[in-house]
Amino acid sequence: MQVSIKKLPKSKIELTCEISSADFAQYLDKAVENLAKELEIKGFRKGFVPREIAKNHLSQKEILEEAVNLAVNDTFPKAIKENKLEVIDLPKVEVLKIAPQNPLVYKVLVSVLPEIELPDYKEISTEINNRNKEALERKLKVEEKEIDDVILRLQKSRAKYITVSREVRAGNCIKIKLKIKNLPRTVPEALARGQISKISEGQLFRDREKVDLLNQGAEVGGIEEHEGILGSGYFLPDFEKELLGMRAGEQKSFLQEIPINHINKELAGKTLDFEVKMNLVQEVELPEINDEFAKNLGDFESIQNLRQNIAEGIRTEKEEKEKQKNRQELIQKIARESRLEIPDILVEKKTEQEIFNLKQNIEASGLNFQQYLEELKKTEDEFKKDLHFGAENQVKIALVLHRLAEVERIEVSEEEIKEKVAQYLKRSSDDSKYQNIKMSRIDPERLKLYYEDAIKNEKTFKLLENY
C-alpha cells in the first residue's frame, strides 16, 4: 500500500492510499464471500451458496462497494498507525479510482492532533513560581475577622427560635404568606411557560448567595410562603419596612414600587399591590460563645482550640486557591506562547458541551434556556459565538498539557487509575444524590480515560510547580 499525506489548515490532513490490484483482488474475493452469506437461492441453504453461483446473483456494484468498505476499514487504521497520526474525528472517505483488476485509490479527509511547538516552559515556570512565592505568605495570612465570621455562622446555625406574640422587630425570624394582587399579565404567562419559578424569584429578594442560610421560600398554590430573618437581606429594604410592627395573625395590604433597574423587566418600575399575612414571629436566641459552645461542636477542648482549627481550615482553603491561581497563570502563559493550529472540531465539541452544561444548570434552577437568551438579548447562534473564544482557549490548554506530558514522558499506572475509579464509585454509592442512579449506567472505559487524563494533568502541574 502506498500512502501520501497532504497537510491542510486547522490541523486537518488529506491522506491518499493506493492498494495494488493484487491486494484489491483479495478484498473482492472477501466481498463475494460476505455477500454470499446473505443470499437466498432456491436449492441452497442460506449462508452455503457456492462462490461462483453467488457471483452470478450479485451485481458488480454490490461487490465493489463491499470490497471498498473492507479495504478502507482494513488499510486506513494501518496507515494512521504507520504514520503515527492521532485522529480526532470521523474520517470522510472519497474513492478516486476503482475497477476490477486495477488498483484501488481513495483519499481520506480527517482532523488530527496538531503539531505543537512549546516555548521554554521551564523558564516560564521558574519565573512565575518565584514571583508568586514571594507574595504567598502575605496572601495566606488569616485575619481575626475571618475567624470571627465563621464563628458567627456557627453561632447562627445553632440558634434557638422562641415564638412571641409581640410585634415584629428587626432580627426576628418571620413566616409570611405573600400574594401580589395586580400582577402584570405577562408574569403569569411566564410562570406557565416555566420561565420563572416564583412570582418573587429575583424580583423582591436580593442575591440568594448573600442571603442567610436560614431564609427559604416556597410557592404553595399560587400564594408564596416565605421564612427569613428580618434585616438579613432576604427581602428588599422597602418591603421589610412594611412588615415591621406586624403581629402573628395580622394581615396587611400595601403598594410597593419595584426599582426601575430591577432584573425582571416585566416588573421594573411597576407599583405592585401586595397582600401579606404574618403567620409567625420568633425571637432568635444565639448561644453564648465560650468553651462549652466549642465542645458541643466536636472534639474541641476550648474556644481557643476551635478558633485555631478554623484558622487552619481557612489557611488550607487559601493555599488551595493560590495553588490553582498559580497553575492557571503557568498554563495560560505556556499555552499563549505555544505555536499550534487548533482543530475546529475540538472547539465545536467544547462549545456544544458548554451549551449543554449551561442548559442543565438553568433548568435545574427552575428556569429555561430560552428565557436566559432573552435576558441577554441574543440568539443561540450569537451565544455560541460568544462562547467560541473561551472554548478555543480551553482546548488549547488541554492540547498543550497533553504535549507537555508527552515531552516529559509522564505516565499513569493501571493501579493509579483503579484507585481513583474505586474512590469515585464508593463516593457515588455513599452520596444520597446518587442513590437513584444505577451503577450500570456508568461507562467504565470513559471513567478510566477521565481519571487517566486527570492524574496525568495533576502530575504535569506538579512538575511545572517544581521548576
Confidence (pLDDT) at 59: 85
- Say whether pLDDT at 211 is over 50: no
Strand ranges of the sheet holding 92-97, from the earlier edge strand across to the other edge: 2-8, 12-19, 104-111, 92-97
Confidence (pLDDT) at 417: 94
What is the rounded distance in angstroms from the CA atom of residue 342 to the CA atom of residue 348? 11
Q: Which fold has domain 307-465?
A: Trigger factor, domain 2 (1.10.3120)
Average of per-residue pLDDT across 242-258 = 91
Confidence (pLDDT) at 331: 97
Class of domain 159-285: alpha beta
User: What pTM was computed for the model?
Assistant: 0.71
What is the rounded distance in angstroms from the CA atom of residue 138 to the CA atom of residue 196? 44
What is the rounded distance in angstroms from the CA atom of residue 450 to the CA atom of residue 421? 9
Split at pLDDT 50, 70, 90, the class of 320 is: very high
What is the rounded distance in angstroms from the CA atom of residue 337 to the CA atom of residue 384? 26
CB of 113 closer than 8 Å to CB of 86 = yes
Give the residue with greater pLDDT, 208 vs 56. Answer: 56
> How far from 464 is each of 117, 138, 142, 427, CA to CA, in Å?
17, 23, 27, 30
What is the rounded distance in angstroms from the CA atom of residue 344 to the CA atom of residue 342? 6
Average of per-residue pLDDT across 163-187 = 82
- Say whether pLDDT at 325 is over 80: yes
Confidence (pLDDT) at 294: 95
Confidence (pLDDT) at 201: 38
> For 23-37, 116-130, 437-451, which range has the lowest pLDDT when averaged over its residues?
437-451
Split at pLDDT 50, 70, 90, the class of 253 is: very high
Confidence (pLDDT) at 60: 87
Question: Of 342, 418, 355, whose CA–CA distance to 386 is shortest?
Answer: 355
Average of per-residue pLDDT across 427-440 = 59
Confidence (pLDDT) at 199: 36
Split at pLDDT 50, 70, 90, the class of 360 is: confident
- Say whether pLDDT at 205 is over 50: no
What is the rounded distance in angstroms from the CA atom of residue 358 to the CA atom of residue 370? 12
Confirm or reject CATH 3.30.70.1050 for domain 2-111, answering yes or no: yes
Confidence (pLDDT) at 222: 47
Q: Under 8 Å CB-to-CB from 255, ≥6 apart: which residues?
A: 271, 272, 273, 274
Question: Tens digit of pLDDT for each residue in 369-421?
Answer: 887 788 778 888 898 888 998 999 999 999 999 999 999 999 999 999 999 99
Q: Under 8 Å CB-to-CB from 138, ≥6 apart: which residues?
A: none
- Say whether pLDDT at 454 is over 80: yes
Cell 513560581: give the residue: 129
Split at pLDDT 50, 70, 90, the class of 326 is: very high
Q: Under 8 Å CB-to-CB from 321, ≥6 apart: which residues?
A: none
Split at pLDDT 50, 70, 90, the class of 439 is: low
133 CB burial (10 A radius; 0-12, 13-18, 19+): exposed
Residue 229 dihedral angles phi and psi, to the nearest 5°: -90, 120
Average of per-residue pLDDT across 200-219 = 40
Task: Indicate where the chain has its CATH 3.30.70.1050 domain(s).
Answer: 2-111
Task: Name 273's bridge partners.
Answer: 255
Question: Tens digit of pLDDT for each residue in 307-319?
Answer: 999 999 999 999 9
Question: Of 158, 1, 174, whose CA–CA distance to 79 is shortest?
Answer: 1
Confidence (pLDDT) at 440: 52
CA 277-280-284 angle, to 5 degrees, is 135
Question: Of 91, 5, 100, whose CA–CA distance to 60 is shortest?
Answer: 100
Confidence (pLDDT) at 262: 67
Angle between helices 344-364 and 369-376 (to 10 degrees): 110
- Say whether pLDDT at 467 is over 50: yes
Average pLDDT value over all residues in the chain: 85
HEC string of the chain equals: CEEEEEEECCCEEEEEEEECHHHHHHHHHHHHHHHHCCCCCCCCCCCCCCHHHHHHHCCHHHHHHHHHHHHHHHHHHHHHHHCCCCECCCCEEEEEECCCCCCEEEEEEEEECCCCECCCHHHHHHHHHHHHHHHHHHHHCCCHHHHHHHHHHHHHHCCEEEECCCCCCCCCEEEEEEEECCCCCHHHHHHHHCCCCCCCCCCCECCHHHCCCCCEEEEECCEEEEEEECCCCCECHHHHHHHCCCCCCCEEEEEEECCCCCCCCCCCCCEEEEEEEEEEEEEEECCCCCHHHHHHHCCCCCHHHHHHHHHHHHHHHHHHHHHHHHHHHHHHHHHHCCECCCCHHHHHHHHHHHHHHHHHHHHHCCCCHHHHHHHHCCCHHHHHHHHHHHHHHHHHHHHHHHHHHHHCCCCCCHHHHHHHHHHHHHHHHHCHHHCCCCHHHCCHHHHHHHHHHHHHHHHHHHHHHCC
Confidence (pLDDT) at 221: 38
Task: Indicate where the chain has its CATH 1.10.3120 domain(s).
Answer: 307-465
- Say whether pLDDT at 169 is over 70: yes
Task: Indicate where the chain has its CATH 3.10.50.40 domain(s).
Answer: 159-285
Split at pLDDT 50, 70, 90, the class of 463 is: very high
Question: Tens digit of pLDDT for each residue in 10-27?
Answer: 999 999 999 999 999 999
Question: Of 25, 24, 56, 50, whose CA–CA distance to 37 is shortest?
Answer: 50
